[in-house]
Amino acid sequence: MQGPGDFEVSRRDVLKLGAAATAVPLVAKGQAGSPAEAPVSTQLSLNVNGKVHALKLDTRTSLLDALRDHLQLTGSKKGCDHGQCGACTVLVNGRRINSCLSLAVMHAGDKITTIEGLGTPNKMHAMQAAFVKHDGFQCGYCTPGQICSAVGMLSEVKANVPSHATTDLTAPCALTNPELRERMSGNICRCGAYSNIAEAIADAAGVPAAGRSA
């Protein structure tokens, strides 16, 4: 792999030299940063939805961009690209993560599951079917992330991972409505379909929805 300093002067260096020549020390962005470099690419294989893909990627490629732009798995969505909205949620080795805040190169050897791997229109995952049944969306943009997150969340409850809403840390976790909402707080729905999302997840989990008798 090429390291820093192996490359010829880039446009950014030229700009930096220009700035230095005019001697302006008060540029907010002008701190002593890393030297400018050309992109570095790397070979890796990603196991996505049971299929292994050989890829050559810029090291900067997020897992989300690898899925969407290189493997054409566009079900996972880019909302904020900063881990604040949850639209990019996928399962890595069964655990839900924000794929925008992870580098593809860090996932060689992992088993990645996206919304496309959970089910298909003809053979939906139980969580997908529950979202359809309960109308758990309006525009649908956050939905793949909501569904992947909900599937990961139910595994966490099964593994007895507590949450901020858990009243007794030493008791087994029960998926009440406040628990469900707290555990899904990393997925934002700007249409505000939350009550139907909560009902869909409760249905898929086999627990009573809020405000309804069991």
Residues in contact with another protein by the rule CB under 8 A = 1-4, 25-31, 33-40, 42, 58-60, 62, 81-83, 86, 89, 95-98, 101-103, 105-106, 149, 152-153, 156, 159-164, 166, 169-170, 181-187
Q: What's the min distance (Å) between Cβ of 187 and another protein?
A: 8
Say how far apart CA 92 and CA 114 lie, in whole Å: 9
Q: What's the min distance (Å) between Cβ of 152 and another protein?
A: 7
Q: Which is nearer to another protein, 136 or 152 (CB)?
A: 152
Spatial neighbors of 163 by CB under 8 A, at least 6 apart, are: 173, 179, 182, 183
CA distance readout (Å), 65 to 1, 30, 32, 102: 22, 29, 29, 10
Provide the β-strand partners of residue 113: 91
Torsion angle defined by CA atoms of residues 14, 20, 25 and 30, in that order, rounded to the nearest 10 degrees: 20
Q: What's the min distance (Å) between Cβ of 29 and another protein?
A: 5
Q: Which is nearer to another protein, 15 or 132 (CB)?
A: 15
Say how far apart CA 32 and CA 53 lie, in whole Å: 39
Q: Which is nearer to another protein, 126 or 188 (CB)?
A: 188
Q: What's the min distance (Å) between Cβ of 67 and another protein?
A: 15
Q: Which is nearer to another protein, 110 or 116 (CB)?
A: 110
